[in-house]
Amino acid sequence: MTKRILHVEDDKDTCNLVKILLQEQGYEVITAFNGNECLNILKEERVDLVILDIMLPDTSGWDIYQRMKETFYPAKVAFLSVMPISDNELDNLKEDGISDYIRKPFDNEDLVRRVRNILEVRKNILHIEDDEDTRNLVKMLLEARGYGVISVSEGREGLDRLSGDIDLVLLDVMLPDVSGWTVFHEIRKNPGNRNLKVAFLSIVPISDEQLIEFRKEGVLDYITKPFDKEDLIRRIDRIIWAE
């Protein structure tokens, strides 16, 4: 069933751009230019996601969200606003039930990814890494992106945790019990895991020639530590959402 999105925004150029971007992804987009129009639509229509600007001509996006909570309206809610917020404020919003807060001006691809992460079935990542600080950082970054993350410290434990719910295995090369490469081959031995996506995240450097060979074997990416946070997220997104 097609997901329906209500976008509440008084700037028509922003409305048109968001509508084009999301319709291209197969979503149905309804537009409201003020709070009153939004509330009237919500009385008559069922939508899956409401994207709210904070500053509207007649009310605030926050007031609309509070009205939705009072009436137990079941849609998810995200803010799309030019107003900056701190990490603590974002955490508080998410604790209150807001799915995401997207800043304007926005990157088109980033907007699409974040809406998709809100609406689609959550993708799950199994991260096998013996360094606790790295595990915690990766988990924090990817969960903030909307992914489910299972973190384990040993290769055998990772193999035991494999299930049909895992969409990507992110592997270190050097593990306490077995090598990440051994884990990769064990994964591929199981016919049910032949199409499971696998990438490496490791401090061990490799050459371009080695990367080509790894890709031939089915490794989708090789990310070296220390990593850039935004680059890691971008590369994980690309792997997860590739057809």
For helices 108-119 and 12-23, give the axis angle rounded to 10 degrees: 60
pLDDT score of 71: 81
Give the dihedral sign, CA 108/114/120/121: positive
pLDDT digits (tens, 9 = 90+) for 152-162: 999 999 999 88
- Is residue 184 within 8 A of residue 198, CB to CB? The reply is yes
pLDDT value, residue 218: 92
The verdict on pTM exceeding 0.75 is no
Q: What is the pLDDT of residue 124?
A: 92
Do 114 and 146 meet the contact criterion of CB atoms below 8 Å apart? yes
Phi and psi torsions of 182, nearest 5°: -65, -40
Residue 24, CB-side half-sphere exposure with 13 Å CA sphere: 11
- Per-residue model confidence (pLDDT) at position 243: 56
Residues of the chain falling short of pLDDT 70 = 121, 243
Q: Where in the chain are the domains?
A: 4-119, 124-241
pLDDT in tens, 207-216: 999 999 999 9
pLDDT for the residue numbered 72: 72
Does domain 4-119 match CATH 3.40.50.2300? yes
What CATH code would you report for 124-241? 3.40.50.2300
Residue 216, pLDDT score: 93
